[in-house]
Amino acid sequence: MASSLTFLGAAGEVTGSCYLFDIGKVKFLVDCGMFQGGRDGQRKNRRFRFDAREIAFVLLSHAHIDHSGLLPRLAAQGFQGPVYATAATAELLAVMLPDSAHLQEKEASWERSEPLYTVARARACLGQLRMVEYGVPFQPDPAVRCVFRDAGHILGSAIIEMFLKEGKVVFSGDLGQPGRPIVEGPTLVAEADVLLVESTYGDRNHKSLVQTLDEFAFALNDTLASKRGNVVIPSFAVGRTQEILYYIAELRGQGRIPPADVYVDSPMASAATRITRRYAKLPDLERLRFTDSLEDSMRINSVRSGAIIISASGMCEGGRIRHHLRYNISRDALLGWIGQFRRAPRQTYVVHGEPLAAESLKNSVIDGYGWRAAVPSAGERAVL
């Protein structure tokens, strides 16, 4: 039987990243992410399209819940193998998966249903993590050799190279925008026989960093100095919160914003920031405070003006700030990353994007480089 790849998630959408490789005697997953978004997402999170007991191992690109969030459920349904991830990803998962489980338990209690998984199950599955280093080959199975490369998305994020008997398969994971602080830009990859490439922003570019910081500085000054109020910034706890702190310190050091108390209102963001400081340098920021309890958070209500409050969570969906500081690579930068391959892959699959973004990137790859490219549908199986 020919080896195959099945697109189980993040195919025609941006959440639920999960790809099943069946190479004969061995089945393994790349990512095991949670679907996010309403009842349909909840329904898809309840049922795997495979037997978890048959999965030998998981290769994990990074810690975001839409890539890692179903690992505890996978283990609960019989998966007993290792999960390979970078050390930074493993540390972040120790914070993020229990937090995700806590949310599942709360929602289940409101709805009088069973949670996807419990905090105890989330903590138990952390014991299956196996740490790997960037650029160091390892063999999770005699038929599979792997190398993780820095994806520049968040701390610990990885591009995954897999060497199979059919050739080299590259999964881009989520690629970061070049030139951002804290993490390096995405590693350039020279070649692949099969490429899975993300397309979150495959149809558009971001504003320049200069323009973004100008708008950010204006918003802070307008509220803090002109209106004498507080600035509340919704933000992801992991990655984005640390970038916001970096840029606040930078703007303050340049004298572009007034001094202000900065509150990070999230225990998970506090933990993520401590982890970040172990792997990267964050500038010192005076008057920075973290809330570690509900009481600490409630005390912020008494602050009437002159504060920047970063309201952080693991799955933040809304807020104006998400339009300012973007994680994923923009269209032109993504095409630049693709364009440095020395030869065309046999096949390119455009994944992890809404239909318009994925189709736009696919057409750019075909028209610009003459490659064979396709946007797979959910559940589609491809022969390697």
Q: What is the rounded distance in angstroms from the CA atom of residue 2 to the CA atom of residue 234?
A: 47
Give the distance, in angstroms, between the CA of residue 283 and the centroid of all CA atoms in the same chain.
Answer: 23
Q: What is the rounded distance in angstroms from the CA atom of residue 59 to the CA atom of residue 298?
A: 40
Q: What is the DSSP letter of 344?
A: -
- pLDDT less than 70: residues of the chain: 38, 312-327
Query: What total number of domains does the chain contain?
Result: 2
Residues 331 and 319 in one domain: no
DSSP 307-323: EEEEEEESS----GGGG
Q: What is the DSSP letter of 126?
A: G
User: Would you state the pLDDT for residue 315?
Assistant: 44
Residues 347 and 244 in one domain: no
Residues 99 and 10 in one domain: yes
Q: Which among 323, 342, 375 is the end of a domain?
A: 323
Q: What is the rounded distance in angstroms from the CA atom of residue 8 to the CA atom of residue 17?
A: 7
Residues 89 and 30 in one domain: yes
Residues 289 and 344 in one domain: no
Q: Provide the CATH number for the domain around residue 252.
A: 3.40.50.10890
Q: Which among 272, 297, 323 is the end of a domain?
A: 323
Residues 219 and 160 in one domain: no
Q: What is the rounded distance in angstroms from the CA atom of residue 73 to the CA atom of residue 42?
A: 13
Q: Which among 323, 347, 369 is the end of a domain?
A: 323
Angle, to 10 degrees, between the axis of helix 240-253 and the axis of helix 267-279? Answer: 70
Which domain, by its residues, includes 265? 209-323
Q: What is the rounded distance in angstroms from the CA atom of residue 13 to the CA atom of residue 262?
A: 35
User: Would you state the pLDDT for residue 326?
Assistant: 53
Q: Provide the CATH number for the domain around residue 355.
A: 3.60.15.10
Residues 290 and 366 in one domain: no
Residues 302 and 273 in one domain: yes
Residues 147 and 234 in one domain: no
Show Cβ contacts of residue 103 under 8 Å, excluding neighbours closer than 6 positions: 314, 315
SS3 352: coil
Residue 163's alpha-carbon distances to 166, 198, 275, 316, 349, in angstroms, are 8, 20, 31, 36, 17
Residues 44 and 146 in one domain: yes
Residues 305 and 169 in one domain: no
Provide the phi-psi class of 69: left if phi over 0, else alpha when psi is between -120 and 50, else beta.
alpha
Residues 49 and 158 in one domain: yes
User: Would you state the pLDDT for residue 37?
Assistant: 76
pTM for this predicted structure: 0.93
Q: What is the rounded distance in angstroms from the CA atom of residue 351 to the CA atom of residue 33?
A: 14
Torsions phi, psi for 178 (to 5 deg): -60, 150
Residue 83's alpha-carbon distances to 38, 57, 94, 136, 198, in angstroms, are 28, 6, 13, 16, 21
